[in-house]
Every structure is written in structure tokens, then in C-alpha cells.
Structure 1
């Protein structure tokens, strides 16, 4: 057997991505702390050394998994600031950008369901988890600032604290991991429409009220 073949003995063709997907599923099923490299090796049908060929440690696997979810969410926020301006405005309305962020977050959750599920279970027990939590807090802070901006421009009612709006919105979005099943009646687009209808429609300032505020 070739050197390359002996190094891959017993492996059913897993690449780094495949190992990561299986590891995330195991972390979600057993809990990160309870999932040893031995458990991962058994689940993959690999030797532990074969896993170490791709990842230096279990912490590195976790860090890559959490970065997958966080990077996608952060990308939605970044993209929202680059959306096409309306009628030559410098940037789109804050309410439109918030709509984009909430819809995008739903799509990320559906597309990376296992990874976001893992992210939401992080409690800060390791340095990797604490860094992930710091990134989550930074994301939440930016969303809250966007809500405040939408309130200041008169697009959303301002009698509810912006941080409460942000927490309630993402509380609803994050709860999707508990019941959503791929292949069900609603795809990500329809689910995003439903979230916007429930979260934002009750917060939108009626046009007549906006005019009164501007005149008053």
C-alpha cells in the first residue's frame, strides 16, 4: 500500500469539511465537553491520528465551527451596510437594513442549522467559547444600534427600548433551532417573511404618524 494509502487507512474519504460536519453533529448530540476525540473517531470510523491530520485539537474543531456560524451572521450585517441606496441616498434606510439583517439571520440559521445550534449552546467554559461570546455580544450591539437608528429616523416606534427590540427579535429567530426541520412546509424565504411579519410589522411607525412627528 502506498504511503498516502496507509495514512488514510480505514477512512471513508472524509475531508476536513466532512470531519467538521460530523463533529458539530456530535457536539450538539452529546455536548462539547462530553465529546472526546475518541468519540469523534468512532463516529467517523477514523483513527484519532487521522483527525489530527486535519485539526490540531478538539478546541480547533470547535473554533472553526463557531467561526462558521459567526462569520455568516457578521457577513449579513456587513452586507446590510452595502445595500443599494434608495433614490441616491448615502445609505438605505435603517429600517430596510434591519429588515435585511433579520431576513439574513434566518437564512443563516436555516442554511447552517447545526452550526448555529452549537453557537447558541456556548456558555463560555473555554477561551474559544469566550471569544465566540464576545463576537456575539458585538453582533448584538450592532443590531441594537441599527434598531436605534431606525427609531431615530421615524421608521420604528420608539416607545420600546432598542435593546429589548433586538433581544426579542433574535429570541424569536434563535428559537427556530428548537423546532425547525429541513424539508418542512416552509423554506428559509417564507420563514423570514413570517419573522418579519411578527417582529417588525408591529413596530413600524404608520406613515401618518411619521409625518406628524416630522411636522411636530
Structure 2
């Protein structure tokens, strides 16, 4: 029999979380147990509030996922847009996107972790996966242009380069812990250097 004293207290009435706090806890719960395997009841227990209190902020579990994915994708897409408007050479734009993406992953780790674990099980997830692919395709185009400029070696397929580099960046969600890294700046610089040193002519 479960000891009632060990269960989180359920807050009645108006929720004790603001919307952003609630979404963050839900995202962390999805990451631990899987989105498909997490019910609204499980979220309520994790939050220590009633399901009706969750519905004060969102209409459904899918809306929580939508908000979370929009959060991470918008940050990553902003990185691409800002680099593209900076008037940089293709190789510099590629480097800027990689470095800024690393900063996004370390800053919004739970949200990007959820994004990277999608399997395309709904229309919402399929759309999110396509937005991810668009970023990778943009990187591939930059690699092709940098190869044409003579700034990157041309003996490696550009799409392979973009997949490998983003795979390395995305691996951050599996091992990054703030307490294990001296600084995000140092991590960013080391990773970008490691990736680009093998690609430069």
C-alpha cells in the first residue's frame, strides 16, 4: 500500500505555477518518462496539483508539446536567421550557427532534448522534424558554398558534413551537465574548433 505521506500534496483551486514554470516541469517529465508514456494524470502528480489546475494554463498534453517544441525550434531558427543576416562568408556563417546552436542547447537543454527525441508519431511531431531538417539543409548549403570558395575541403559530401556536425552538437543532450563544464564559452570554442579543424583545407 502506498504511504500517503510520500505523495506530493495536491493544490486545490488556482495553480501554484505560472505557465512557463508549468511547461518546464512538464518537459522534464516527458524527458524522463517519454511523451507518449506520460499522461495528464502523471503530470498532475509530478506538479503536485490537480489536472484541472493544469487546464488553467493549457488545453491538452499536445499543447504542452507544441509550446515546448516551438520554444526550442524558434531559438534554433533565430540562430540561423541572425547568422544569415550578418553579411558573413559562408564558412563564417556556418561557424556562427554551430557556435550559437551549442549555446542554445546548453541554455535550453530540456526543451532541445525533447525535440531531439521526437519520432514523428503525430502531425505536430512531423512538422517539428521538418523544421529540424530545414536547419540541417541550410548548413549543407553553407558547406557547399564554403567548399566552392576554397575555405573547406571538398572531398566530403556537404550533406554528410552537416549531419555529422549537427550530430556532434546534438550529442550535448546526452552528456552535458553544467557542473562538469568550466564554461559554456570554452565548451563552444572547443567543439567548434574540433569540428572545423578537420574540415578546413
TM beyond 0.5: yes
How big is the shift at 1:50?
A: 1.1
Q: Which runs of 5+ in 1 are unaligned?
A: 1-5, 84-90, 206-216
How big is the shift at 1:126?
A: 1.1
Distance across 1 between alignment mates of 2:68 and 2:198: 35
Instruction: Select 1:112's aligned residue among 101, 108, 122.
Output: 108
1:87 alignment counterpart:
none
Q: Which runs of 5+ in 2 are unaligned?
A: 1-11
Residue 57 of structure 2 is aligned to residue 61 of structure 1: no
Aligned Cα RMSD in Å? 1.4
Residue 35 of structure 2 is aligned to residue 39 of structure 1: no
Residue 23 of structure 2 is aligned to residue 17 of structure 1: no
1:167 alignment counterpart:
163
Aligned counterparts, 1:84-103, within 5 A: 91-103=87-99
How big is the shift at 1:41?
A: 0.6
TM-score (norm 1): 0.85
Count of aligned positions: 191
Instruction: Select 1:149's aligned residue among 124, 127, 145.
Output: 145
Residue 199 of structure 2 is aligned to residue 203 of structure 1: yes
Distance across 2 between alignment mates of 1:186 and 1:120: 25
2:74 alignment counterpart:
71
2:173 alignment counterpart:
177
How big is the shift at 1:150?
A: 1.0
Distance across 1 between alignment mates of 2:27 and 2:111: 7
TM-score (norm 2): 0.91
How big is the shift at 1:81?
A: 1.2
Asked which structure has the greater CA Rg, the reply is 1
How big is the shift at 1:32?
A: 0.3
